[in-house]
Amino acid sequence: MELTVASSVSLALLVLSTAYVLVAARKSRSSSKPRRLPPSPPGWPVIGHLHLMSGMPHHVLAELARTMRAPLFRMRLGSVPAVVISKPDLARAALTTNDAALASRPHLLSGQFLSFGCSDVTFAPAGPYHRMARRVVVSELLSARRVATYGAVRVKELRRLLAHLTKNTSPATPVDLSECFLNLANDVLCRVAFGRRFPHGEGDKLGAVLAEAQDLFAGFTIGDFFPELEPVASTVTGLRRRLKKCLADLREVCDEIVDEHISGNRQRIPGDRDEDFVDVLLRVQKSPDLEVPLTDDNLKALVLDMFVAGTDTTFATLEWVMTELVRHPRILNKAQEEVWRVVGDKGFVEESDLGELHYMRAIIKETFRLHPAVPLLVPRESVAPCVLGGYDIPAKTRVFINTFAMGRDPEIWDNPLEYSPERFENAGGEIDLKDPDYKLLPFGGGRRGCPGYTFALATVQVSLASLLYHFEWALPAGVRAEDVNLDESFGLATRKKEALFVAVRKSDAYQFKGEELNEV
């Protein structure tokens, strides 16, 4: 009788699991000195606690930490040891005292393929290349001066969105604000990374390739948790074939973009004079002072890293902010009154106004607390043994920091499930990585903290202020605050599961007066 595809895969997985058990049994016979390891919940044979990582793992792990009363606990994800941190003091210890010991990343199959050999900043292992790549990103691509020069791009793309809303919306027709934010984030990052806005057909191609890459990054990969079974596991499941196809598509798109920059044949948007990411990296690539050579594949990996990370976090943050504002009209009205008072009759928001919008910045902080874009941060991996909370953490252990759990912990926050920006009103206006208490970690911290947080924040703040200044916002007619679905979609960034539809009306006093921009 002929085997179906499903039964073939099941049989293969059974064989692979048996092989793993034999390998694990051989390893377990090797002796090691006793260690004081963190507590661990009961696990299953072979897979350990891998079942906990399906669905919304940050919710499951937060509840597990609560019921175990274990701010630090141990898991076995297949054959991979891991620990989960759910308290600020342990997060501080991981990101400061033990930052060097926890400086690496797990070797993931998707990163090996789609980050051109794990050569982006996110997935590169600790070592000379990562130090060099991060230094290039921080000093050349995302320095304070360069982030400021990208202000013109942010304003121009934001004006396109404002013009679209002014022209095409009415209170009777709800607007898909999720789609608006995704387009805005993509357009800003395309301009900054590649120097031009992509025409419809080419943009669709790029979007399709990036969407496939994001699915693969966020998907389940057997070999990431049973390294002993690679490359057989990914071949049997068909994953390796998908990864190779996606890599070929990414390479084709990136080669075309880089070739245009080298040849000088690309179309610049009128008025653009500043270097984009590709320009900068092509210039840096020629520097004789690099600690490690920057190859063409490294260049592609760095540009894609900035693009994918920037679009996802910006889009998700704006979506969650506006979701909470339309659910809480009092907070929305208070934020609008602040923007109108600060900006006045100028007719538009300038980035120089943002420092005076203290309540709006508190709103963003409160959104980071309840809806972190990356709730488990990007996992780290220990390169050497260390001690956390009095427990031994062996080398090659994956470390998850559950910022979702910390943001909803009643021992840390009063009324943690209540959306209340007022809790941050007197806590200072800056939104950065320097929370001395480590209670709020939207961008991680230490040597693996997000290097692009200032760029993402600039886009989020000027966009939110402009939307509050020019428009009146509400839930669609007949929709109550409790009707809004707050379920999440877990991926590279945690978005709303359902798109956000809102009623929008042009502000009587501060209507947007600009015209829609249609440059190539």
DSSP characters over 426-487: TS-S--SS--TT----TT--GGGS-TTHHHHHHHHHHHHHHHHHHEEEEPPTT--GGGS---
Q: Mean of the pLDDT values across residues 315-323?
A: 98
- The string of DSSP codes covering 320-336 is HHHHHHHH-HHHHHHHH
Residue 515 three-state SS = coil
Lowest mean per-residue pLDDT among 75-84, 115-124, 201-210, 365-374? 201-210
Tokens of 145: 């001066």
Contact 382, 395 (CB under 8 A): yes
pLDDT score at 319: 98
Contact 363, 335 (CB under 8 A): yes
Residue 520's pLDDT band (cuts 50, 70, 90): very low
Given a cut of 50, whether residue 514 has pLDDT beyond it is yes
**DSSP class of 193:** H
Q: Which distant-in-sequence residues (6+ apart) come within 8 Å of 110 by Cβ?
A: 216, 217, 219, 221, 224, 243
pLDDT score at 19: 52
pLDDT score at 26: 46
pLDDT in tens, 442-488: 999 999 999 999 999 999 999 999 999 999 999 999 999 999 999 99
H/E stretch holding 134 reads: helix 128-136
pLDDT score at 210: 82
Contact 335, 457 (CB under 8 A): no
User: Nearest 10 degrees: CA dihedral of 209, 116, 256, 207?
Assistant: 20
The model carries a pTM of 0.91
Residue 45 three-state SS = coil
Helices and strands of the chain, counted as H and E runs: 18, 11
At residue 491, what are phi and psi to the nearest 5 degrees? Answer: -160, -145
Q: Comparing 212 with 273, which gets the higher pLDDT? A: 212
Contact 411, 422 (CB under 8 A): no
Contact 50, 225 (CB under 8 A): yes
Percent of all residues in the chain with a pLDDT value above 90, rounded to a whole number: 74
Given a cut of 70, whether residue 2 has pLDDT beyond it is no
Q: Mean of the pLDDT values across residues 34-45?
A: 93
Residue 509's pLDDT band (cuts 50, 70, 90): confident
Whose CA is closest to 185, among 375, 442, 433, 457? 457
Q: Mean of the pLDDT values across residues 17-46?
A: 68
Contact 179, 501 (CB under 8 A): no
Measured CA to CA, the distance from residue 236 to residue 241 in angstroms comes to 10
The bridge status of strand 386-388 relative to strand 495-496 is: unpaired
Q: Which distant-in-sequence residues (6+ apart) come within 8 Å of 327 by Cβ?
A: 419, 475, 481, 484
Whose CA is closest to 474, among 327, 331, 318, 360? 327
pLDDT score at 263: 86
Q: Mean of the pLDDT values across residues 128-148?
A: 94
Longest dimension (CA), the chain: 78
pLDDT score at 55: 81
Q: Comparing 208 with 314, which gets the higher pLDDT? A: 314
The residue whose two tokens read 């252990």 is 397
Provide the residue ranges of all domains of the chain, joining segments of one domain with +.
Answer: 34-117+374-407, 150-197+301-372+417-520
Given a cut of 60, whether residue 170 has pLDDT beyond it is yes
pLDDT score at 462: 97
Q: Mean of the pLDDT values across residues 249-255?
A: 92
Q: Mean of the pLDDT values across residues 54-64?
A: 93
The CATH superfamily of 150-197+301-372+417-520 is Cytochrome P450 (1.10.630.10)
Given a cut of 80, whether residue 58 has pLDDT beyond it is yes
Q: Mean of the pLDDT values across residues 319-348?
A: 97
**DSSP class of 126:** S
pLDDT score at 219: 83
Q: CA triplet 238, 243, 245: central angle to 5 degrees? A: 100
pLDDT in tens, 185-203: 989 998 999 887 765 555 5
Q: Mean of the pLDDT values across residues 334-349?
A: 96
Q: Mean of the pLDDT values across residues 132-156?
A: 94
pLDDT score at 430: 57
Whose CA is closest to 504, among 118, 177, 16? 177
Distance, CA of 59 to chain centre: 17
Q: Write down the CATH number for the domain with range 34-117+374-407.
A: 3.30.43.20
The residue whose two tokens read 């979007």 is 207
Q: Mean of the pLDDT values across residues 240-264?
A: 93
**Per-chain mean pLDDT for the chain:** 89
Residue 83 three-state SS = strand
- The string of DSSP codes covering 223-270 is HHH-GGGTTHHHHHHTHHHHHHHHHHHHHHHHHHHHHHHHHT-SPPPT
pLDDT score at 313: 93
Percent of all residues in the chain with a pLDDT value above 70, rounded to a whole number: 88
pLDDT score at 304: 92
pLDDT score at 29: 42
Instruction: Confirm or deny that 386 is annotated as ligand binding.
Output: no
pLDDT score at 515: 54
Lowest mean per-residue pLDDT among 104-118, 156-170, 291-305, 332-346? 156-170
Given a cut of 80, whether residue 517 has pLDDT beyond it is no
Residue 169's pLDDT band (cuts 50, 70, 90): confident
- The string of DSSP codes covering 487-500 is -EE-SSS-EESS--
Lowest mean per-residue pLDDT among 222-236, 251-265, 330-344? 251-265
Q: Mean of the pLDDT values across residues 374-402?
A: 97
User: Residue type at 268?
Assistant: R
The residue whose two tokens read 């980050």 is 115
Given a cut of 60, whether residue 431 has pLDDT beyond it is no
pLDDT score at 18: 52
